Structure 1
Amino acid sequence: MTQQTQDEQAQADRTPGDRPRDSGKVALITGASRGIGYGVAEALVARGDRVCITGRNEDALKEAVERLGADRAIGVPGKAHDEAHQVIAVERAMEAFGRIDFLVNNAGTNPVFGPMADLDLNVARKVFETNVVSALGFAQLTWKFWQKANGGAIVNIASLAGISASPFIGAYGMSKAAMVNLTLQLAHEFAPVVRVNAIAPAVVKTRFAQALYEGREAEAAASYPLGRLGVPEDIGGAAAFLTSDQSDWITGQTLVVDGGIFLNAGVS
């Protein structure tokens, strides 16, 4: 019997109410009521992890928890850059599950579109507060509350915009470049007990990135060697790998998940 046949048979034998065996591991995922963050949460729950997810929209967060399963997920509403929210989220995860093995820093914002010459500096500060400083805050807290003594892994969601020029989303790109460097710094300082890696996606089909492909998806997808835009499940799979034992000798890396679009940077 081939592996595919075995997988298909296992799926057929599974009843609708079945859940994967509890892995005993717990993840805190920021900005996870929808989009990439939810895709990551879904992937981790599917392998048996439990998750604490955060998000600004309380209703959307409740719906996400319901879809993930109230026995596997809790939601903590709040803004990622709010230090009080960071503490509450970590404390809630510890109270509910007793541990935080994995942290996925996904919360992000991109409120401006235009040239850097016209960038409002207050907007730039807001972008960095949400996209970078909040990630550091969550990392510090999970380190102190659990990971320093018990180990684990951190995955920072960066962006292809952080490792290449991306016209009109410069503030976002700068913040994601900082996220890549934050990954390097934390990987060095938290070793050997905690592994820290990043994922740099290209355009993923989410509401957050909708302006980059809306009304021209086929045209946008045609520029990708693999012929399509990303979906949240693509990033969820990458995050599942980087928080698994299969990546146990990987730290300080930024995994580009981009459908091959970065290959075009060298093509004239």
Structure 2
Amino acid sequence: MDRPLLDGKVALITGGSRGIGFGIATAFRAEGATVVLTARKAAGLDEAREQLLATPGTGQVHTVVANAGDPDQAAAAVAETAERFGPLDVLVNNAATNPYMGPLADIDLSRAAKTAQVNQIAPMLWIHAAREHGMGRDSGAAVINVASVGGLLVDPHIGFYNATKAALIHLTMQLGYELGPDIRVNAIAPGVIKTELARAVWEAREGVLTAQLPMRRLGTVEDCGNAAVFLASDLSSWITGHTLVIDGGALGLPRAVQT
């Protein structure tokens, strides 16, 4: 029997208690990884841990309450993980926020700052903390940033959110250049994924959206999890600085259909 793709790896996933983060955690554990989930709410983490332990997999599951955008909490979460399990092999920067909907030109400074802190600056904080606690000393270390296909598009409602995701895509390229060969840095850019958090986006328009997509369905957290396993494993050992779009073909639609 072949060894699981992430056998013995230690992976930390920010915003891992639900949605895409939880889907990635599930896929990682199924491939043999020990997973550490962080999120702001203990109750959600406790529920996620119970659900994960009920899924196939041999790795341990640990949770740490941490606000992804808080430098001290990020450092403490990585330190706790390293003390318990050793240096990180995989870091998934999944946590994100979007407190503002509306024209980019009208966003207020406080919500712009919060969005940038969590979506753009926090991934660098977590990477810094992971390196401070030994990530990259052994071969095979990987960072996966969860961006968005919105970082490659224009949208009338979430322009600043998309701008932070575009910045994350560029940071992925830059960090891939700077941290190689010790740490590979890649990203995934999901399109519309069927999560509870995004229900307002897809539920009422699912039929219309799926009819337009070449793959004729919306994305799932399992789609994101499978892509993350590939980027975290040795299967992608010569890939860094790359963003993998997971959108069912939406980015390639003719402009008239996209709008």
Give the TM-score normalised by the residue count of structure 2. Answer: 0.92
Q: Quick check: 1:91 aligned with 2:79?
A: yes
Tell me how far apart the structure 1 counterparts of residues 49 and 180 of structure 2 sit (CA, whole Å): 32
Q: Quick check: 1:66 aligned with 2:50?
A: yes
Could you say if the C-alpha distance between residues 21 and 158 of structure 1 is closer, same or farther in structure 2, counting changes exceeding 3 Å?
A: closer
* CA apart distance, 1:27: 0.3
Alignment check: 8 A CA contact 1:101 1:146 kept: no
Tell me how far apart the structure 2 counterparts of residues 223 and 55 of structure 1 sit (CA, whole Å): 34
Partner-residue secondary structure (3-state), 1:138: helix
Q: Point out where structure 1 has 5 or more consecutive residues left out of the alignment.
A: 1-6, 8-19
Tell me how far apart the structure 2 counterparts of residues 128 and 121 of structure 1 sit (CA, whole Å): 10
Tell me how far apart the structure 1 counterparts of residues 143 and 85 of structure 2 sit (CA, whole Å): 18
Q: Deviations over 1:137-185 (max 9, x none)?
A: 0011112212232240000000001011122111110000010011011
Tell me how far apart the structure 2 counterparts of residues 267 and 121 of structure 1 sit (CA, whole Å): 34
Aligned counterpart, 1:153: 142
Aligned counterpart, 2:172: 183
Partner-residue secondary structure (3-state), 2:142: strand
> Higher Cα Rg: structure 1 or 2?
1
Could you say if the C-alpha distance between residues 251 and 217 of structure 1 is closer, same or farther in structure 2, counting changes exceeding 3 Å?
A: same
Tell me how far apart the structure 2 counterparts of residues 184 and 109 of structure 1 sit (CA, whole Å): 22
Partner-residue secondary structure (3-state), 1:52: strand
Give the TM-score normalised by the residue count of structure 1. Answer: 0.89
Could you say if the C-alpha distance between residues 243 and 21 of structure 1 is closer, same or farther in structure 2, counting changes exceeding 3 Å?
A: closer
Tell me how far apart the structure 1 counterparts of residues 212 and 156 of structure 2 sit (CA, whole Å): 16
Q: Quick check: 1:173 aligned with 2:157?
A: no
State which of 211, 225, 249 in structure 2 corresponds to 1:260: 249
Alignment check: 8 A CA contact 2:195 2:221 kept: yes
Output the amino acid matched with 1:187: G
Tell me how far apart the structure 2 counterparts of residues 85 and 216 of structure 1 sit (CA, whole Å): 38
Q: Quick check: 1:224 aligned with 2:213?
A: yes
Tell me how far apart the structure 1 counterparts of residues 203 and 16 of structure 2 sit (CA, whole Å): 22
Partner-residue secondary structure (3-state), 2:38: strand
Q: Deviations over 1:168-216 (max 9, x none)?
A: 1111100000100110111111011110001011011112222211322
Tell me how far apart the structure 1 counterparts of residues 108 and 209 of structure 2 sit (CA, whole Å): 29
Aligned counterpart, 1:213: 202
Output the amino acid matched with 1:196: V
**Number of equivalent positions:** 250
Partner-residue secondary structure (3-state), 2:35: strand
Q: Quick check: 1:244 aligned with 2:233?
A: yes
Q: Quick check: 1:121 aligned with 2:109?
A: yes
Aligned counterpart, 2:41: 57
Aligned counterpart, 2:23: 39
Q: Point out where structure 2 has 5 or more consecutive residues left out of the alignment.
A: none
Structure 1 runs of 4+ with >6 Å offset:
none
Output the amino acid matched with 2:132: K
Alignment check: 8 A CA contact 1:153 1:194 kept: yes
Could you say if the C-alpha distance between residues 219 and 79 of structure 1 is closer, same or farther in structure 2, counting changes exceeding 3 Å?
A: same
Partner-residue secondary structure (3-state), 2:137: helix
